[in-house]
Structure 1
């Protein structure tokens, strides 16, 4: 069995949230189905894997485009998606193998969250998972202008805890987030093989 750990040279850890700390994918998919039922359109779950890490508004634009929806306000779709997700927050499950790493290094080195989720969604999830207080900084979609796969989210995490990017270790499940970590020059672990244990 592989053990999840940090790089020996890492001085700060940065965790993606959805799919890394939080097993939120089933809840997100169910939420999008509910939203698309309301808009009488189709939801293709394969876009989740393709677009993981992007802000919700990008998903809304994609769904509207793919379904040829006319006169649908993407902002309104996002509000409905977020509210439906927040109402389902009790269905979230933790990814224990990743969260155990958070507990292992809490108080020893800085820990941050770098997520494409909104501030409200990130805080609700972290509180539901009872790990909100373990992080020194949280960078959300609301805090940056350039989202994953660009490195701004992770670079801002490093800046907030005053650790050089090349001494930060990122834990990710999304391809776009992995590209962002590599662009930032950080150590990177793809957590997906560890989530099946």
Structure 2
């Protein structure tokens, strides 16, 4: 049985761009003596949008950062990320097929991501899946990053508005997530959550309604 609608996270669910984000952050932070390990990124920073990730790095270093400097850092990091992405990215196994399958079933789709719109759109276009998503909510659209539920609330409400004949407040809407912060965010928006263990082991994703190792496991309507 399929859900009424599905909201996808982006990084760690559709594509594995986290290593690219990590290297872009380090390119900027290491010269300032604020670099950190990959494990620290996973444990502390993954799930933050760029704004909160930089804030956290400065706070950890005991330094202040103005809003103007913060925006410059975000812009520089986005430029580094964009250059790497131009070389091509690979989607996770089964995700393109799943998106196509859901679209063929007439199921409304959206994205809720902590990444910038400028990070996401070129990849969606590169993978030729942009048009499957009615709404894309990014870090540009909300004041707080996950685990705050604002991003998922925004995506959910946009779907409810766009599909009044298919969806209402009682509809079972699922989020697909890969991080504990993302799961908390989706749950805060009243969504069911399927976690895929791309970024964290299943033991870290127990707040989800169900956990899969690969999105290929959801093909054929194996949701509810």
TM-score (norm: length of structure 1): 0.84
Find the counterpart in structure 1 of residue 13 from structure 2: 20
Structure 1 residues 127-166: aligned runs within 5 Å = 127-162=125-160, 163-164=167-168, 166=171
Given that 1:52 and 1:175 are in contact with CA atoms closer than 8 Å, whether structure 2 keeps it comes out as no
> What is the RMSD of the two structures over their aligned residues, measured on CA atoms?
2.3
Aligned positions, number: 190
8 Å contact from structure 2 (residues 95, 215) kept in 1 = no
- Partner Cα separation in structure 2 for residue 196 and residue 104 of structure 1: 12
Counterpart for residue 189 of structure 2: 184
Shift of the alpha carbon at 1:16? 0.2
Say which is worse superposed, 94-103 or 11-20, in terms of deviation: 94-103
Please tell me whether the aligned partners of residues 9 and 167 of structure 1 are also in contact (alpha carbons under 8 angstroms): no
What are structure 1's unaligned runs of at least 5 residues?
A: 1-7
What are the superposed Cα offsets for residues 148-177 of structure 1, whole Å, 9 maximum, x if unpaired? Answer: 212221122122121346521100011111
Aligned to 2:46: 52
CA contact (8 A) 1:55 1:117 kept: yes
| Structure 2: runs of 5+ lacking an equivalent | 161-166, 198-211, 217-224
1:1-197 matched pairs, under 5 angstroms:
8=1, 10-45=3-38, 46-69=40-63, 73-89=69-85, 90-107=87-104, 108-162=106-160, 163-164=167-168, 166-192=171-197, 193-195=212-214
Q: Structure with the greater relative contact order (CA < 8 A, sep ≥ 6): 1 or 2? A: 1
Give 3-state SS (helix, strand or coil) of 1:57's partner. helix
Stretch deviating more after TM superposition (160-169 or 173-182): 160-169
The 2-side partners of 1:158 and 1:13 are apart by 9
Q: TM-score, normalised by structure 2?
A: 0.75
